[in-house]
Amino acid sequence: MAPSIPKTMRAVDIHNGKGDASALYINSETPVPTPTGSQALVKIHSFGLNRMDLLQREGQYPVPPSAPSTLGVEFSGTIASLPDSPAVEHGWSVGDEVFGLAYGGAYAEYIAVSTHMLIHKPGELSWEVCAGIPETWITATQALFLIGEFKQGQSVLWHAGASSVSIAGIQLAREEGAGAIYVTASSEEKISFCEELGATRGFNYKEGDWSKELLDATDGKGVDLIVDFVGASYFNQNLDAVAKDGRIVNLGFLGGNVVKGDVDIGRFLRKRCRFEGSSLRSRDEEYQGKLRDQLVEHALPRFKDGRFKVPVEKVFKMSEIKEAHELMESNKTKGKLICRVD
């Protein structure tokens, strides 16, 4: 017998629509979403935090038109209802334990999400770990393989090495036979953490010019693929550090989006390198679904047997969402921040 579905639920809301962490609050009168088309209704157990959530909270993130205003894109939980629709993917039943990726709405007790973006939760993994997989690991998969066209034996540099996407990327590159895996990070502690996951070497960007150190480490060759979240402040150094015929994949602008000063763009020709920006949330369901399938086929077995790790820095209650956002803003974490729906 299907569980009774309430009309309203608790969800994280934002006073006046945007603001700092103090503007977050629990709205207990939020309507429970109604699934349509290919969607299931999932009762959420845990959800993951991502840096885009901070930007959306501040009104600085372009949310897809169909997305709900509630924050959050990754979650774990139990299917509470399924519509009688031919668009629903086969193989799902009410009561199934799942985790998945959504366009928004995960900071809540319930979420309406496409069945094409759900994954069966393995018994070997906790609810909290599963809630930290979808956005970060799918983003890393997209950057490494679809955009970066990474091949076995190539070298890769992950900026913000202790961030959740780079943690995933380090492990993906390691298992796919990278020739070398480099990272940048803000402390020796974070660099050591990355090396434990499989990074070859790290560069502390606060203590020197990481691009010169990387060129020294590669005998002047540079690196085949750079995955960058920093943007403008690293643009010049990225062009120094990329190898001939290399790729720079940009996923964010933590260091600004306006390049300042004189920049020699002749390096694009001399190195025959490519700079390409990408995002995941703005992609259509078919594109995201292919990445989900790749995650299930290639990564899920490695999660089950322990080859892939999802380091969880801290688990909060949903009612502690302000503290969770403040910790993410501190840039002191090494791994995922997860909220459990209390």
Q: Find all residues with CB under 8 Å of 283, minimum gap 6, and list them.
A: none
Mean pLDDT of 291-317: 94
23 and 147 part of one domain: no
Mean pLDDT of 16-37: 96
pLDDT confidence of residue 12: 98
Whether the predicted pLDDT of 87 surpasses 90: no
Which of 277, 293, 323 represents a domain boundary (last residue)? Answer: 277
Q: Find all residues with CB under 8 Å of 80, minimum gap 6, and list them.
A: 2, 3, 5, 40, 41, 42, 43, 94, 110
214 and 94 part of one domain: no
Look up residue 184 and give its two tokens.
Answer: 């940048």
66 and 153 part of one domain: no
69 and 177 part of one domain: no
DSSP 29: E
CATH number, residue 266: 3.40.50.720
* Total tally of structural domains belonging to the chain: 2
Whether the predicted pLDDT of 333 surpasses 60: yes
Whether the predicted pLDDT of 1 surpasses 60: no
Q: How far apart are CA 54 and CA 322, in angstroms?
A: 11
Q: pLDDT-derived band of residue 63, with 50, 70 and 90 as boundaries? A: confident
| H or E, element range at 228 | strand 223-228
Q: pLDDT-derived band of residue 3, with 50, 70 and 90 as boundaries? A: low
Residue 298 vs residue 197, higher pLDDT? 197
Which of 243, 277, 311 represents a domain boundary (last residue)? Answer: 277
For residue 171, what are the domain limits? 136-277
3-state SS, residue 48? strand
Q: What is the pLDDT of residues 218-261, one digit of tens each?
A: 999 999 999 999 999 999 999 999 999 999 999 988 888 899 99
Q: What amino acid occupies position 200? A: T
